A and B are shown apart, each in its own frame.
Chain A
C-alpha cells in the first residue's frame, strides 16, 4: 500500500490489521462528532475550535492507519491551502461585509437591520465559526501533521526523487 518511491515516510509505517480495523470503525464517528460540534457549537458546549481540531484529527487517524504518503496524495496540497486561506478569507469577508453595510468590523446585527436576514447576529456568528475558524483549525492541524511528517530537508538536497504528483511543487537543487 505504501508508495516506497518517495523518500522518508515509509520507514516508520507498519500496516497493522488492528489499527486499520479500529480506524475504519471509528473515523466516521469522529468526523460526524467534529461536524456536529462545529455546526451545533452555538447552542451546546464546544464550537468550531474544538470541532475543527476533531475534523483534522480524523485525517491524522487515517494517515496513521493507511500510511502518511497515500493520505498525502489523496488530500492534495491545494485542498489544504484552500481550507486554511479560505477560512481566513471568509472571516475577513464577514467582517468587511458589515463595514460595507456602514457599521463596524463584525457588527453582525447589520445583517438583520440592513439586509433583513432574520437572526442576523446568530447567522453572522455561525458564518465565522463554521466557515472561518473550523476551516482554519482543521487545515492547520493537517498542515502541521504533514509538515512534521515530511521533516526538514537540508539545503541542496531534493526531498523527493519522483514528481508524479503534479499538484505539488518539488524543491530541487539549484
Chain B
C-alpha cells in the first residue's frame, strides 16, 4: 500500500470517528459524506471500480442528500458543545473489540493484492469466471456478467427489493403518490 492509501485510511478513520462524535447533526452528515468519498477513492485504489462507483453515487451522493433533506424537514436542536459526551463503558467494550481484531485477526489476513490469497488464486471460482465469462456471455465486464447472467435471479430479487423499498416509503409516510 502506498503513502496515498495510508493517508486515505487515516482520513477515513478520522471522518468515521468524527461522524459518530459530532453533536451537531448537520456537521455529522457533511463529515459522513466526506467519509463515503474517501471510501470510494480507497475502493478505486484497491481496483474495485464497480464498488467505488456505487459508494460515490449512493453513499456520498444520494444518502447525503436524503439526510440533508430530512434535517431540513425536522428541527435541529442548537447546541453549544462541539462533540457528544463519550460513554466510557461503551468505549471500553468497543476498544477491546478493536484491539482483538487488530492484534489477532489482521495478522492472519493476506496482504492486499497477494497472489496467494484464496479469493484470487483458486482455479475453481475466480479464475474460472474470468476465463469463461466472455465466451459464455459476450460481455467483457465480469462483474456485470456475474450480476446479470450467472446470478441473474439474485439480481432480480435485489431489484424487487429496491422496488419494495419505494413502496414501503409511501406506506410509512401514508401517501398514495410519490410526492
Contacts and interface: CB of A to CB of B under 8 A. Distances in A.
Contacts of B156: 91-92, 95, 105-106, 128
Which interface class (under 10, 10 to 19, 20 to 34, 35 or more) fits B?
Answer: 35 or more
Given A43-B139, A50-B50, A169-B177, A125 B62 contact: no
Most buried by A among B136, B159, B169, B170: B159
B148 A128 contact: yes
Contacts of A116: none
A136 B159 contact: yes
Contacts of B178: 77, 80-81, 142-143, 146-147
A77 B138 contact: no
Contacts of B69: 145, 148-149
Contacts of B137: 108, 121-122, 125
A122 B84 CA distance: 53
A173 to B, nearest CB: 13
A108 B49 contact: no
B165 interface: yes
Contact of A125 (B49, B50, B66, B145): B145
Contacts of B176: 169, 171
Interface in A122-163: 122, 125, 128-129, 132-133, 136-137, 139-153, 155, 159
B5 interface: no
B144 A150 contact: no
Contact of B153 (A105, A140, A141, A151): A105
A62 to B, nearest CB: 12
Interface string A103-118: 0011010000000000
A15 interface: no
B21 to A, nearest CB: 26
B156 to A, nearest CB: 6
A144 B159 CA distance: 15
Contacts of B179: 72, 77, 146-147, 150, 168
B179 to A, nearest CB: 5
A27 interface: no
Question: For A46, A142, A155, A168, which residue has the most chain B Cβ atoms within 10 angstroms?
Answer: A46
A32 to B, nearest CB: 15
A60 B138 CA distance: 35
Contacts of A47: 50, 141, 143-144, 147-148
Contact of A106 (B153, B173, B177): B153
20 contacts: A42-B140, A50-B50, A50-B53, A50-B57, A56-B62, A57-B57, A60-B62, A77-B177, A77-B179, A88-B159, A105-B153, A106-B152, A121-B138, A122-B139, A125-B152, A128-B148, A132-B159, A144-B169, A148-B66, A149-B69
Interface of B: 49-50, 53-54, 57-58, 61-62, 65-66, 69-70, 72-73, 136-141, 143-145, 147-149, 152-153, 155-156, 159-160, 162-163, 165-166, 169-170, 172-179
Given A46-B49, A60-B61, A122-B139, 7 more contacts: A41-B141, A105-B152, A125-B145, A125-B149, A143-B166, A151-B73, A169-B176
